[in-house]
Structure 1
Amino acid sequence: MMTSGWTWYVVILVALNIAGCFWLLMANVKRRPGDPAPEDTSHVWDGDITEYNKPLPRWWINLFYITIVFGIGYLFWYGVGRMHGFGHWSSKSEWALDKAAEDARLEETLKLYAGKPIDVLAKDPGAVAIGRTIFADNCAACHGSTGLGAKGFPNLTDKAWYWGGSPDRVLETILKGRNAVMPAWGTVLTAQGGPLAVDDVVAYVQSLSKPGHVEDAAAQRGKAMFGTLCIACHGPDGKGNPMLGARDLTTAHWLYGGSKEALHKTIAEGRNGIMPAWEPRLGETRVRLVGAYVWTLSKHDDAAPPEAAP
């Protein structure tokens, strides 16, 4: 919104320009005493090309006057900055009208997809195309343009769903958001098992994701502490709990990295991951459409339509 000071600056500048144009016309429409005759300016080139001093045609001058009057009328009708004109027009109201028209058109389009499960919408190329656009505008900043994610942001193209991978659970995650909290266990583990306790738990957790793993001495010690602290969320076998967002530790899908250093930081210092709720911003139907696109990215038994390829 333009401030009052800038409004007056523009008004004064426009008024001076209009007054200057009017003065320039008035000063040049009539001949002054001492001016050369219309056919006598002494400016001759090539012997027969002469510059005359004839005034502009009257109709041309009148067009300039009409332009000045039009400019003044335009300002009074539309206004300048914070000064509203007699037409009560504003760019804000114009934008609101255009937005309302576009929103109405969009709602007509979205009616086709309202209330449908995301796995059903995923088989509709039109729905997937709209969902891809919504994903690019809102979700790609965290999950990447192709859904591959990044450190701390889940990969949407694999089978690892921390909060459940059914259509309803995926939709719920996008609609309502998630808040995943991994407590910091460093102090508790050190108090129970000594300075190497966190490393022992790391060794056990790493062994869970190795097929046919054999627990060494450190992993065996870590298993004992895992059984007293970690099974409440991750379960006795480390399979996790989608209702809590506790990940399956028997797979190689590591959200914050699976190295010894990364796991040590995760266990000792904890993690806090937030997935925002998108229903307030996008509405339910658009969330269903973006969920349909995400469904086509993930690995499951249903084949995605060819148009869904990123």
Structure 2
Amino acid sequence: MSEKHKDEITGVETTGHSWDGIRELNNPLPKWWLYTFYASIIWSIAYWVVMPAWPVIWNGQWTYTEGVIGYTNRNSVADELAAVAEGRSEVMREIAQTPLTELAQDPKLSEVALAAGKASFGDNCAPCHGSGAAGGEGFPNLNDDNWLWGGTLDDIHTTLLHGIRWEADEETRLNVMMAFGDLGMLDRKQVSDVAEYVLEISGQEHNAGAAGRGAEIFAQNCVSCHGEDGTGNQMLGAPNLTDAIWLYGGDKATIEQTVSKGRSGVMPAWGGRLDEGTIKSLTLYVHSLGGGE
């Protein structure tokens, strides 16, 4: 049975509840705790009004209440990025206006350009060439000294600016490896023979008889781009076939596929996407990776 009474020891009235002879004291919460609790309630209501808080459906789509001040993390980050860009705008303008050869020889500007180029490479180039610029199948390794279109500062700058086979840019680097098999210019036996010849000039195991026949086919169809000795032509983007560096692979099956099906990989033109200061910074960074000419 519930019966209230005052505790003799503490002088506090009980709640009237008891269990096994133990009575529950009716101790009120401390005032500081109550005031803090009430303040928290008031603060939460004010927060809901001032800051973005509640998910709502508006015009059939989920959105949220923007709050009185309209704060968003996205806007905050955008403001921070704008502040960073403004802080570096002057030096980036100077980089953009400085000729590449002078830029490479200027200690202060080149230091900034290399840092900016490395950051921009990670943002824009790493998805294809890898974070370490080692490339992969169909994507050139930028660390070596083998360049399809040339590795001088001006060559790299032109490639970045206009791209390779980028149809949207009228000044893009344009040349393709023809599909000799698919176009009916060579039959399967001729494709096999010329592949054997490529294996021979690249120092790989090959069939000497087939390679001899392939040499004639090569002279008739391939020397205009790759040269009589197969060492390639940077003006045309034609690779050197006598070394051990292969963009798509150097085994016979892959060589046959290249001769038969052709190759036409694309490098985007960054001239319409990145400012000149960033492109020059990328040029300097790629040139510094170890294989610049």
TM-score of the superposed pair, with normalisation by structure 2: 0.73
**2:218 aligns to what?**
226
The alignment status of 1:208 with 2:206, answered yes or no, reads: no
How far does residue 35 in structure 1 lie from its aligned partner after superposition? 7.6
How far does residue 55 in structure 1 lie from its aligned partner after superposition? 1.8
Deviations 1:154-192, CA, capped at 9 Å, x for gaps:
121222111122211111112222136322112456x65
Q: 1:265 to 1:137 in 2, by over 3 A?
A: same
Deviations 1:122-142, CA, capped at 9 Å, x for gaps:
553443233223323432333
**2:87 aligns to what?**
105
How far does residue 109 in structure 1 lie from its aligned partner after superposition? 4.6
SS of the residue aligned with 2:75? Answer: helix
Higher normalized helix content (fraction of residues): 1
Structure 1 segment 1-310 matched on structure 2, within 5 A: 34=4, 39-41=12-14, 53-80=26-53, 81=55, 82-118=64-100, 120-122=102-104, 124-179=110-165, 181-188=176-183, 194-210=187-203, 216-299=208-291
Contact 1:208/1:250 (8 A) holds in 2? yes
Q: Percent identity?
A: 39
Paired residue type of 1:197: Q
Contact 1:116/1:288 (8 A) holds in 2? no
How far does residue 64 in structure 1 lie from its aligned partner after superposition? 2.3
SS of the residue aligned with 1:181? Answer: coil
Paired residue type of 2:176: V
SS of the residue aligned with 1:248? Answer: coil
1-structure distance, mates of 2:135, 2:70: 49
1-structure distance, mates of 2:84, 2:190: 60
How far does residue 197 in structure 1 lie from its aligned partner after superposition? 0.4
How far does residue 290 in structure 1 lie from its aligned partner after superposition? 2.2
Deviations 1:141-160, CA, capped at 9 Å, x for gaps:
33233322222211212221
**1:47 aligns to what?**
none
Give me the CA root mean square deviation: 3.4
SS of the residue aligned with 1:84? Answer: coil
1-structure distance, mates of 2:87, 2:282: 19
2-structure distance, mates of 1:241, 1:110: 34
Paired residue type of 1:74: Y
Contact 2:151/2:292 (8 A) holds in 1? no
Q: 1:170 to 1:104 in 2, by over 3 A?
A: same
Q: 1:207 to 1:120 in 2, by over 3 A?
A: farther
Paired residue type of 1:160: N
Contact 1:121/1:289 (8 A) holds in 2? no
2-structure distance, mates of 1:70, 1:105: 37
How far does residue 295 in structure 1 lie from its aligned partner after superposition? 0.9
Aligned residues: 258
Paired residue type of 2:82: A
Paired residue type of 1:199: S
Show structure 2 runs of 5+ residues with no match.
Answer: 16-22, 56-63, 166-174
1-structure distance, mates of 2:100, 2:133: 17
Q: 1:62 to 1:205 in 2, by over 3 A?
A: same
Contact 2:152/2:287 (8 A) holds in 1? no
Show structure 1 runs of 5+ residues with no match.
Answer: 1-32, 43-49, 302-310
Indicate the larger mover: 121-130 or 154-163.
121-130
Contact 1:131/1:290 (8 A) holds in 2? yes
